[in-house]
Amino acid sequence: MKHLQQTLRKSYSFEGKGLHTGKVAKLTINPAPADTGILFRRTDVSKDLYVEALAEYVSSTDRSTTLTKDGVSVVTVEHLLSALTGMGIDNAVIDLDNIEVPILDGSAKPYIDAIWKSGIVSQDAPRKYIEIDHEITVTSDKTGSSITVIPAEEPSFDVRIDFNSKVLGVQNAHWDPSMSYAEEVGICRTFVFFHEIEYLFKNNLIKGGDVDNAIVIVEYPVSHEQLAHMSRLFNVPMLERCENGYLNNLQLRFSNECARHKLLDLMGDFRLVGGFLKAKVMAVRSGHTINTNTAKELRKLIAENK
């Protein structure tokens, strides 16, 4: 069965802080004609410059994925790209009036909820799947991570995370088209280790972080004073470490929510191959750097096969 390209039935707008910059931005996802792909437009810079969601424009992978073209950047694109991929959107133009996509609740859920309300429109053009003719593997000696991509009749993604954490343990997550992305992947939130938070603040990262948009893992014993300091940092009532090793700011949606969020990220970063990839993707200890490096290798492979 041939799948048709799809776009949004209407435009959807969101407003919030960027996780890393802390800057408030308004983002609007607009319908787009067939064969447009996914385009970002920084309306505060130029209404005529589009940054395509393609791997060759990746300029930074420091805790999120940044795209840059002609000196114009869009930061933290992965959750939105994951939502559009998981919901089967081929074509959209995304207007953003600041540098960073809002973090919202730390997952793709706000985008999913909006798109579900009004639905998706089929377009009079077949979906152009991206296919490869042989297996590739990308590894990183520095992080011990690897991604293997194998030709397949339908897309699937497998993720294994291992942070040498007693709290997280080794977690696995999987998605294929027989599963509901919206209910099983897209609602999973970003996470951070308690001992990393102060470092990230000091290095001008997670300026927009708060206790509503991130799972916090408390790997090591912490004192009452440390918890009080963190509570003041986020300007919230006193935080506590739960018996399961997580901060009590959020309730987990799944026991392996952290692995599922890494799966969400992987699917978003892999949209940078330029569309829907027909392949089996297996990732171990993945992150934005190896995700986007693999997407770049796939883009080169696709170009060679044209």
Mean pLDDT of 73-94: 98
Residue 240, number of CB atoms within 10 A of its CB: 13
Mean pLDDT of 32-56: 97
Q: Helices 78-86 and 109-118 meet at what angle, rounded to 10?
A: 40
**Tokens 């798109």 appear where?**
115
The DSSP bridge pattern shows strands 145-151 and 215-217 to be unpaired
3-state helix, strand, coil in the chain (%, to 5): 25, 30, 40
CATH number for the domain formed by residue range(s) 4-127 = 3.30.230.20
Q: What is the pLDDT of residue 199?
A: 73
The domain segmentation of the chain, as residue ranges, is 4-127
Q: Is 288 a catalytic residue?
A: yes
What pTM value is reported for the model? 0.94
- Answer yes or no: are the C-beta atoms of 173 and 158 closer than 8 Å: yes
d(CA 112, CA 219): 31
d(CA 100, CA 120): 26
Q: What is the pLDDT of residue 146?
A: 98
Which of 30-44, 62-76, 185-199 comes out lowest in average pLDDT?
A: 185-199
**Tokens 């030709």 appear where?**
151
Q: Where are the alpha helices (DSSP H) in 157-250?
A: 181-184, 194-202, 224-234
pLDDT at residue 35 greater than cutoff 70: yes
pLDDT cut 70: percent of the chain above it: 96
Catalytic residue, chosen from 20, 79, 261, 288, is 288
Of 223, 161, 170, 235, whose CA–CA distance to 195 is shortest? 223
